[in-house]
C-alpha cells in the first residue's frame, strides 16, 4: 500500500543566519552549551506552504510528498540522528529527503496505524553535516486517559528539570514553521485530537536534551542521538530529564516516561 510513495524525494535550501541562531538559543533559554546548535536543523529548510495547502490540523495536505494516508492524527514517533560536522553560520544549507519505508500495523487501542520513515540529509558545500531517519506515525486519536504505568527512575543519573510554557511552544513552532494546531490551539488539541492540553513538540524536547548532553561533555562533540517519544508532554508540566552514560530518559511529574534515548559522544 502506497508503494508509489517509496523512494519519493524532496529537497530544499536555506541559509543559517545569525538572526535565526540567536532566536533558536533564546527559545531554548537554558543554561547549557548551545555552540554546536544541536536541533537547529529542525528550524531550517522547512517548506513555505501557502495557507490553502494546509489541512485542518495545520499540517501540509497529504498526497504530494507525504502519502495520502486517511488517518486523522500524525505524530513524531522517533528519530535517529548522526552529526558529522558542525553547522557553519552565514552559509547556505541543503536538505535532501527520501521516503524509505511505509509500514501498516494494527493497534488494540487505536486500530490501524501507518509508520513512515523519512531519511533527511543536510549538506553545506557538498559536505554531509547531519543525517536523520525520522519516523512518523499516522493513527486515530488515543483515549485521553493514559493507562501507562510508572517507570523506574535511575537516581544515579543527573536530573535536569524544565517546565515548557506557552511562550516556549509558540517560539519553537514559529522557528520551525510548524503549524500543527496541537501546539498552540488548546480547543483543537483537546476536542479534536483528544489531548488534555497543548502538546510540547518532540523536537523541542530533543533539542533541550541534546544541548544538555553536549554541556556534560564539553570537550567532545555529540555524534549520534536516537530517541523515541512514548507519551505526549504537556505545556506547563515538568520535563524531568535524566542523563546517564550513553542514555537519557525524560519523565513527567507522574514518573511516566515521555521520551527515551541513547547517545554517542
Residues 186-199: tens digit of each pLDDT? 999 999 999 999 99
Q: Judge whether residue 144 has pLDDT over 80.
A: no
194 closest CA partner among 121, 143, 131, 120? 143
SS3 of the chain: helix, strand, coil, percent, to 5: 20, 35, 45
To the nearest 10 degrees (0 to 180), the angle between helices 166-175 and 18-28 is: 150
Q: How far apart are CA 180 and CA 57, in angstroms?
A: 6
pLDDT value at residue 34: 78
Q: Judge whether residue 146 has pLDDT over 70.
A: no
Q: Report yes or no on whether pTM surpasses 0.85.
A: yes
At residue 184, the 3 state secondary structure works out as coil
- H-only helix segments in 124-263: 166-175, 186-191, 202-216
Cα distances (angstroms) measured from residue 241 to each of 31, 162, 208, 256: 14, 8, 9, 12
Look at the chain and report how many structural domains it folds into.
1
Q: How far apart are CA 86 and CA 194, in angstroms?
A: 39
pLDDT band at 138 (very low <50, low <70, confident <90, very high): very high
Q: How far apart are CA 63 and CA 142, in angstroms?
A: 24
99: containing domain = 3-264
CATH of the domain at 124: 3.10.129.10
Cα torsion angle, 219, 130, 173, 193, sign:
negative
Amino acid at each position: 500500500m502506497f508503494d508509489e510513495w517509496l523512494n519519493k524525494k524532496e529537497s530544499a535550501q536555506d541559509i543559517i543566519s545569525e538572526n535565526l541562531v540567536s532566536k533558536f538559543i533564546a527559545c531554548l533559554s537554558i543554561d547549557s552549551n548551545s555552540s554546536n546548535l544541536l536541533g537547529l536543523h529542525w528550524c531550517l529548510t522547512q517548506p513555505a506552504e501557502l495557507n490553502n495547502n494546509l489541512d485542518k490540523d495545520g499540517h501540509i495536505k497529504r498526497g504530494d510528498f507525504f502519502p495520502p494516508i486517511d488517518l486523522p492524527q500524525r505524530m513524531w514517533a522517533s528519530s535517529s540522528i548522526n552529526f558529522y560536522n558542525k553547522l557553519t553560520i552565514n552559509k547556505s544549507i541543503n536538505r535532501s529527503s527520501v521516503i524509505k519505508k511505509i509500514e501498516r500495523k494494527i493497534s488494540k487501542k487505536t486500530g490501524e496505524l501507518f509508520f513512515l520513515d523519512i531519511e533527511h540529509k543536510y549538506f553545506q558545500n557538498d559536505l554531509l553535516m547531519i543525517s536523520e531517519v525520522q519516523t512518523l506515525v499516522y493513527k486515530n486519536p488515543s483515549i485521553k486517559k493514559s493507562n501507562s504505568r510508572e517507570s523506574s527512575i535511575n537516581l544515579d543519573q543527573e536530573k535536569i528539570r524544565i517546565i515548557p510554557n506557552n511562550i516556549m511552544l509558540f517560539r519553537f513552532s514559529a522557528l520551525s514553521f510548524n503549524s500543527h494546531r496541537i501546539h498552540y490551539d488548546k480547543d483543537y488539541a483537546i476536542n479534536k485530537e483528544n489531548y488534555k492540553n497543548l502538546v510540547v513538540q518532540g523536537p523541542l524536547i530533543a533539542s533541550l536534551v541534546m544541548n544538555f548532553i553536549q554541556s556534560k561533555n564539553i570537550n567532545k562533540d555529540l555524534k549520534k542521538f536516537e530517541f523515541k517519544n512514548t507519551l505526549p508532554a504537556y505545556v506547563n508540566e515538568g520535563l524531568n530529564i535524566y542523563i546517564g552514560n550513553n542514555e537519557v530518559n525524560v519523565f513527567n511529574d507522574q514518573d511516566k516516561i515521555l521520551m527515551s534515548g541513547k547517545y554517542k559522544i
